[in-house]
């Protein structure tokens, strides 16, 4: 999806079918020459169908009335040529339209993915990942069938109806008008059923999204499911979701087939009337048998494309639901970007900053005034929910303050380019995110242009090189989804190597060792000390040794800063830091250097 399509979707209303046609056109016009070729082949195909119906009269008259032996010899060759041409042009039309549909789906999926990368964190907080996956895979995938077959049917079958109607009128106009009486009834029934199809199709899309969400969550949380023996309950939940989806799919099927049923019944009524009246005309010799059979063939051939056109309308209604659901992603405003491009040095100032999440009524942090100088190590401590991680997220530009300003090197973070900000930022968290790729590729996430030597140097600095070389494939070893084939300590060291390779000016460590055992924590701690050297570092509830070494310790409670100073000074004060130290740190000093405040 390019920016032009995004603009079209912003301007159009999904309640107007003309707007949805316009959107489909915008998606298709990129492949205009292929589309024109497909439509020309479709028109030729319609003409061939008309030629078959038209040829019935001369064939019957020449053979049964004139008894022409020469025509009888030529007839089989003519039939073979007509049907050969129909087969070739059917193949070309279907191939060209299928390729257009596949190209649209490919570009649309890539466009939605590109859009997803620009959306703010707030979007992902309120939208399940399974729902997004369902829209990208299931919903967008429907457009392939709609473009490949529905658009093709609209032009080919519509053209066939026009050509055959012309043949019928040329044979006997009064019979033709009599046969066309049922067409308005078919169109009316199609319109009524189409509205029902749109509502039902939207519900089907939502239900398959629910199925995808349950599947995605089950795969992500398979350890928890097994640990709590929830296999039966999760299987039952998925079974209910699939059953509900099945019932709605069958509603769609009933609507589709009912439209065909109506077309069959009304078509049968029309043919019966024509046969009765036409037979009377043949008996009274007002029309030749050849002309009448040519007319009948044309009318019978008309009803088949009419039935397909009834499905075209239903399929178009399904396409409208897809467009509507795509709009739910496309119309979300991307992250706000400032225009100032600069290399980050690392000075951070919070000037009376307050913030609350969009879905919350109360402020998460209030009246934060804090200056972090370049190269300083600042530790944030406090009970869970004090606002420590929120403060770090604000520095990363994931959220903007509701009140007050954050200045990075003297520039308001709202005016700073997010790309510039994040290029100067490194993050290591407790919940390490690694990708299902090689160790080398995951480290290169820090700086894709780095050389192999730089990757190895970063791994050595993170104390990861030794265990990497013990793996059979070394740096080319696949680590599985989210690093499933590595231990917790190994994953942390890969993440640290990634941050070292990035060489950031500002480093955020968010409880990076809280879930590790003593040995792993010691290895990771050494790597972190190397990583922090000379950088502006914000540490959230990290190890005791790091907290003690901090230039400043900031104690938070209820979203406010209630204490700040060096470790020794804060211990002399009777405040929250002393309480946390006595309650957690002292007891851990004898067992482990780790802190979880």
- In the predicted model, what is the mean pLDDT of the chain? 80
User: What pLDDT is attached to residue 351?
Assistant: 92
What is the DSSP secondary structure assignment for residue 449, as one 8-state letter? T
How is residue 259 written in tokens? 């439209």
Helix (H, G, I), strand (E, B) or coil at 444: coil
User: What pLDDT is attached to residue 592?
Assistant: 45
Categorize the per-residue pLDDT at 596 as very low, low, confident or very high, splitting at 50, 70 and 90. Answer: very low
The owner of tokens 């938070």 is 556
Question: Is the model more confident about 66 or about 236?
Answer: 236
What is the rounded radius of gyration, in angstroms, for the C-alpha atoms of the chain? 35
Q: Is the pLDDT of residue 171 over 80?
A: no
Q: Is the pLDDT of residue 7 over 70?
A: no
Average pLDDT over every residue of 310-331 = 79
Distance CA 401, CA 394 (A): 7
Q: Determine phi and psi for 404, rounding to 5 degrees.
A: 80, -175
Q: Is the pLDDT of residue 60 over 50?
A: yes
Q: Is the pLDDT of residue 207 over 80?
A: yes
The answer to whether residues 351 and 369 touch, using CB atoms and an 8 Å cutoff, is yes
Q: Considering Cα of 176, then 180, then 181, then 182, what sign does the dihedral take?
A: positive
Distance CA 105, CA 143 (A): 7
Distance CA 15, CA 324 (A): 9
Burial 234-246 (b: 16+ CB within 10 A, else e): beeeeeebbeebe
In Å, what is the CA distance from 383 to each residue of 187, 550, 568, 597? 67, 18, 20, 6
Categorize the per-residue pLDDT at 9 as very low, low, confident or very high, splitting at 50, 70 and 90. Answer: low
Categorize the per-residue pLDDT at 355 as very low, low, confident or very high, splitting at 50, 70 and 90. Answer: very high
Q: Is the pLDDT of residue 523 over 80?
A: no
User: What pLDDT is attached to residue 504?
Assistant: 87
Categorize the per-residue pLDDT at 585 as very low, low, confident or very high, splitting at 50, 70 and 90. Answer: low
User: What pLDDT is attached to residue 545?
Assistant: 56
Q: Which of 249, 181, 241 is nearest to 216 (CA)?
A: 241
**Weakest mean pLDDT among 137-141, 192-196, 476-480:** 192-196
pTM value?
Answer: 0.78
How is residue 268 written in tokens? 């049968």
Average pLDDT over every residue of 300-313 = 74
Distance CA 558, CA 258 (A): 62
Q: Which of 421, 442, 254 is nearest to 338 (CA)?
A: 421
Average pLDDT over every residue of 188-194 = 73
Q: Is the pLDDT of residue 515 over 60?
A: no
Q: Determine phi and psi for 162, rounding to 5 degrees.
A: -65, -45
DSSP symbols for 377-433: EEEEE-STTSSHHHHHHHHTTSS--SEEEEEETTEETTTB-HHHHHHTEEEEESS--
Counting residues of the chain whose pLDDT is more than 70, the rounded percentage is 89
3-state helix, strand, coil in the chain (%, to 5): 65, 10, 25
Categorize the per-residue pLDDT at 594 as very low, low, confident or very high, splitting at 50, 70 and 90. Answer: very low
Q: Is the pLDDT of residue 69 over 80?
A: no
What size, in residues, is the chain?
Answer: 597
Q: Is the pLDDT of residue 389 over 60?
A: yes
Q: Is the pLDDT of residue 66 over 50?
A: yes
Average pLDDT over every residue of 18-45 = 81
User: What pLDDT is attached to residue 477?
Assistant: 87
Distance CA 463, CA 388 (A): 28
Average pLDDT over every residue of 494-516 = 80
- Beta strands across the sheet bearing 552-557: 425-429, 506-510, 536-540, 377-381, 552-557, 560-565
The neighbour count for residue 187, using CB atoms within 10 Å, is: 13
Virtual torsion, Cα 155, 158, 160, 162, nearest 10 deg: -130
Q: Is the pLDDT of residue 588 over 60?
A: no
Distance CA 132, CA 124 (A): 9
The answer to whether residues 588 and 544 touch, using CB atoms and an 8 Å cutoff, is yes
What tens digit of pLDDT does each residue of 271-293 get?
A: 788 778 777 777 887 777 777 77
**Weakest mean pLDDT among 6-10, 99-103, 378-382, 461-465:** 6-10
User: What pLDDT is attached to residue 350?
Assistant: 92
The answer to whether residues 556 and 380 touch, using CB atoms and an 8 Å cutoff, is yes
Categorize the per-residue pLDDT at 405 as very low, low, confident or very high, splitting at 50, 70 and 90. Answer: very high
Which domains, and CATH codes, for the chain? Answer: 3-330 (1.20.1560.10), 347-424+506-518+535-597 (3.40.50.300), 428-503 (3.40.50.300)
Categorize the per-residue pLDDT at 593 as very low, low, confident or very high, splitting at 50, 70 and 90. Answer: very low
What tens digit of pLDDT does each residue of 442-474 get?
A: 999 888 888 889 889 888 888 888 888 988 888
User: What pLDDT is attached to residue 354?
Assistant: 92
Average pLDDT over every residue of 96-100 = 86
Average pLDDT over every residue of 479-492 = 81
The answer to whether residues 524 and 493 touch, using CB atoms and an 8 Å cutoff, is yes
Q: Is the pLDDT of residue 359 over 60?
A: yes
Q: Which of 527, 533, 519 is nearest to 594 (CA)?
A: 519
Distance CA 261, CA 247 (A): 20
Virtual torsion, Cα 491, 497, 501, 506, nearest 10 deg: 90
How is residue 431 written in tokens? 């919940």
**Weakest mean pLDDT among 98-112, 238-252, 372-386, 517-531:** 517-531
């Amino acid at each position: 999806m390019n920016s032009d399509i995004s603009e079209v979707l912003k301007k159009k209303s999904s309640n107007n079918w003309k707007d949805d046609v316009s959107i489909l056109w915008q998606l298709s016009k990129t492949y205009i020459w292929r589309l024109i070729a497909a439509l020309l082949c479709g028109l030729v195909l319609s003409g061939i169908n008309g030629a078959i119906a038209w040829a019935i009269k001369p064939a019957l008259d020449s053979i049964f009335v004139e008894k022409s032996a020469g025509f009888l010899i030529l007839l089989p060759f003519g039939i073979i040529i007509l049907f050969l041409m129909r087969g070739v042009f059917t193949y070309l039309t279907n191939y060209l339209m299928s390729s257009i549909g596949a190209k649209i789906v490919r570009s649309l999926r890539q466009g939605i993915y590109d859009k997803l990368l620009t959306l703010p964190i707030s979007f992902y907080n309120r939208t399940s990942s399974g729902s997004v996956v369902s829209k990208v895979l299931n919903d967008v995938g429907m457009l392939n069938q709609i473009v490949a077959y529905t658009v093709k049917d609209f032009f080919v079958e519509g053209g066939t109806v026009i050509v055959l109607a012309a043949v019928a009128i040329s044979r006997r106009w009064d019979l033709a008008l009599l046969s066309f009486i049922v067409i308005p009834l078919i169109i009316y029934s199609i319109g009524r059923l189409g509205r029902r199809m749109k509502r039902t199709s939207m519900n089907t899309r939502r239900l398959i999204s629910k199925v995808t969400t349950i599947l995605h969550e089950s795969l992500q949380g398979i350890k928890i499911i097994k640990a709590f023996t929830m296999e039966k309950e999760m299987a039952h939940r998925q079974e209910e979701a699939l059953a509900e989806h099945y019932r709605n799919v069958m509603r769609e099927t009933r609507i589709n087939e009912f439209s065909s049923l109506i077309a069959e019944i009304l078509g049968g009524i029309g043919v019966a009337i024509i046969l009765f009246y036409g037979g009377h005309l043949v008996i009274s010799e007002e029309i030749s048998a050849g002309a009448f059979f040519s007319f009948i063939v044309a009318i019978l051939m008309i009803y088949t494309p009419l039935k397909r056109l009834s499905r075209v309308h239903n399929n178009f209604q399904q396409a409208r639901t897809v467009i509507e659901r795509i709009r739910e992603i496309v119309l979300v405003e991307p992250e706000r970007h400032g225009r100032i491009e600069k290399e980050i040095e690392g000075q951070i100032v919070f000037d009376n900053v307050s913030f609350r999440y969009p879905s919350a009524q109360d402020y998460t942090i209030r009246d934060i005034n804090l200056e972090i100088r370049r190269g300083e190590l600042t530790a944030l401590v406090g009970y869970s929910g004090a606002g420590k991680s929120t403060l770090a997220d604000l520095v990363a530009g994931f959220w903007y303050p509701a009140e007050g300003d954050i200045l990075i090197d003297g520039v308001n973070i709202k005016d700073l380019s997010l790309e510039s900000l994040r290029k100067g930022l490194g993050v290591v968290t407790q919940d390490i995110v690694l990708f299902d790729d090689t160790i080398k590729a995951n480290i290169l996430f820090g700086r894709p242009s780095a050389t192999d030597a730089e990757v190895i140097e970063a791994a050595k600095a993170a104390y990861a090189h030794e265990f990497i070389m013990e793996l059979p494939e070394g740096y080319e070893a696949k680590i599985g989804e989210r690093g499933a084939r590595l231990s917790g300590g190994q994953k942390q060291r890969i993440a640290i190597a990634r941050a070292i390779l990035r060489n950031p000016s500002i480093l955020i460590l968010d409880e990076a060792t809280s879930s590790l055992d003593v040995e792993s924590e010691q290895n990771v701690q050494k790597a972190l000390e190397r990583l922090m050297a000379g950088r502006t570092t914000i540490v959230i509830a990290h190890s005791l040794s790091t907290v003690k070494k901090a230039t400043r310790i900031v104690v938070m409670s209820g979203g406010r800063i209630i204490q700040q100073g060096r470790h020794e000074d804060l211990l002399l004060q009777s405040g929250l830091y002393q309480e946390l130290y006595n309650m957690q740190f002292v007891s851990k000093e004898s067992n482990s250097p780790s802190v979880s405040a």
